[in-house]
Structures are given as C-alpha cells and as structure tokens.
C-alpha cells in the first residue's frame, strides 16, 4: 500500500495522521474503523460480486466508502496495519451458534504485533457488534471493554475461544492463513441459501454512545442502552438512511429476501 493510499484510508476512518506504532495507536485505529466503516452485506443483495483481491478491497472500502463483512473488513484493515509497520497474521475462526461451532473459515480475525513489539493482540473490526478495542492475546483473565467483558480461553488443539460477557462468540486458530484461503467460504457466504448473509440485509456500525443499524427497512439505534426502532417507508427513506447514517450512496435499495 503506497503513501497516498494509506493517507486515503486514514481519512476514511477519520484519523488525521498515522498513529504511533504501538498499542495505543492500534487501539485508536481499531475503534475508529468500527465507527466509520460499517459491517454490511449489501453487495450480496445488490448483485455485486464480492472480491477478496487486495485492490478490490481498498477500492470498495476506501474509495467507494462502503463496508463489508469479516473477510473484507479485516482483510483491508490488515493491509493498513502492515503498511503502518505492524506484523499481522490472518487467522480463521468458527462462530458459535445454536447448534455449536460453524464450519472452518466462517470468520476471519487478526493477530497483530505493532511496530514497537507490544502485544500480540487479537484485532477484529469485522464481527459486527464486538469489542471496541483489540484484546491482549496472551491474557486469560477478564478484559473490560466499552462493549462488554471479554475473555480469551484456551480450547482444543491450541485454538482459542473468545467470550463476551460469559457467552462464547467464536473459536480461532493461531495458524496463519491468507485471504486466498477464505475465497471458497466467502463464495458460500454470498451464494448459499443456508448462509445467514443471503437471508436478510444488514448494515451496522459503532457510534460513540451505542450502535446504528439498518436491517431490511428497519432503522435501529441504540444510545446509552436505549434501543429505538423506526420503520423506513419508501425507497427514498431507505436510501437516505444509508446515506445519512453510513455515508453509503446507493443507486437502488438492496433486495430484501426477508420481505
């Protein structure tokens, strides 16, 4: 990533200058990314193919000012961190659900070692509602975060579970992977009727006091623990909400399989 692209990416996430290559700088970028770049699956419902090519990731998130899901968000964030001098390992994860753990590569997270040698840290800007700040990888006690109380716990075969407020979120490997390893699962996520990403639309980002989301035609806002819902009537209202709350300019409303 060249200097011009780094500057454009930092502008995209609202960070005026490259932060220090330490834990504090990583924390700044981690939270800023979630405040500005939404977790969204709109491409699936706009008939836009999702590419994990590095140039396509930067074009979508930085230049087109869109968001994405885990492979895209953490994939692009890794490129930024590496350009700023960090050592980044991309790691595969399985998400906990009602029936237990999902298949391998269902999620992508990052293990980050900043330029100053601190950490390592578990960084994840692509899980939707998750920790505001990176989690210390080697700690096994509680890690308090504005989003909740997190804990990393050793699991089978060297894997690590991520828990939020006592509830398991996902299990990740520590073995380094590449984005190319995620391509088959990324294709499944955007095409299979069994993928929850094909079943409904979501666009969501962190706010200073909570979270704002659009699910289908419902605008959902949480502020200081208070949740409000507003049905968006008409395509113009939906497009305006994407524009006003996420800076996302769409030419049409995404298809909504959930009706």
Catalytic residue numbers? Answer: 70, 107, 124
The DSSP H or E segment spanning 11 is: helix 3-12
Other beta carbons within 10 Å of 208: 9
**How many residues in total does the chain contain?**
259
Locus of tokens 């399989």: 257
Give every CB contact of residue 24 below 8 A, 6+ residues apart in sequence: none
The DSSP H or E segment spanning 152 is: strand 148-154
Residue ranges in the chain assigned as alpha helix (H): 3-12, 23-36, 54-58, 70-83, 183-191, 196-199, 235-246
Residue ranges in 37-83 assigned as alpha helix (H): 54-58, 70-83
User: Exposed, middle or buried, 133 (CB in 10 Å: 0-12/13-18/19+)?
Assistant: buried
Task: Say which DSSP state 255 is in.
Answer: P
Task: Say which DSSP state 43 is in.
Answer: G
Tokens of 143: 């890690």
């Amino acid at each position: 990533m060249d200097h011009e692209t780094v500057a454009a990416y930092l502008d995209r996430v609202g960070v005026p200058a490259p932060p220090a290559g330490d834990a504090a700088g990583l924390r700044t970028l981690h939270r800023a990314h979630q405040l500005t770049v939404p977790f969204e699956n709109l491409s699936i419902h706009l008939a836009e193919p999702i590419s994990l090519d590095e140039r396509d990731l930067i074009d979508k998130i930085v230049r087109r000012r869109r968001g994405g899901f885990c492979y895209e968000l953490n994939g692009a964030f890794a490129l930024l961190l590496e350009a700023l001098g960090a050592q980044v390992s991309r790691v595969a994860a399985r998400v906990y659900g009602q029936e237990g753990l999902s298949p391998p590569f269902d999620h992508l997270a990052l293990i980050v070692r900043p330029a100053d040698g601190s950490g390592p840290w578990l960084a994840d800007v692509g899980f939707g509602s998750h920790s505001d700040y990176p989690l210390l990888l080697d700690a096994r006690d509680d890690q308090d975060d504005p989003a909740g109380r997190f804990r990393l716990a050793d699991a089978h075969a060297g894997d690590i579970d991520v828990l939020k407020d006592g509830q398991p979120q996902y299990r990740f490997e520590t073995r380094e992977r590449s984005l190319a390893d995620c391509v088959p699962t990324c294709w499944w996520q955007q095409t299979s009727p069994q993928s929850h990403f094909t079943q409904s639309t979501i666009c969501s980002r962190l706010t200073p006091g909570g979270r704002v989301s659009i699910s289908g035609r419902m605008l959902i806002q949480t502020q200081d623990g208070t949740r409000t819902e507003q049905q968006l009537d008409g395509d113009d209202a939906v497009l305006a909400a994407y524009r006003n709350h996420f800076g996302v300019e769409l030419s049409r409303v995404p298809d909504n399989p959930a009706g």
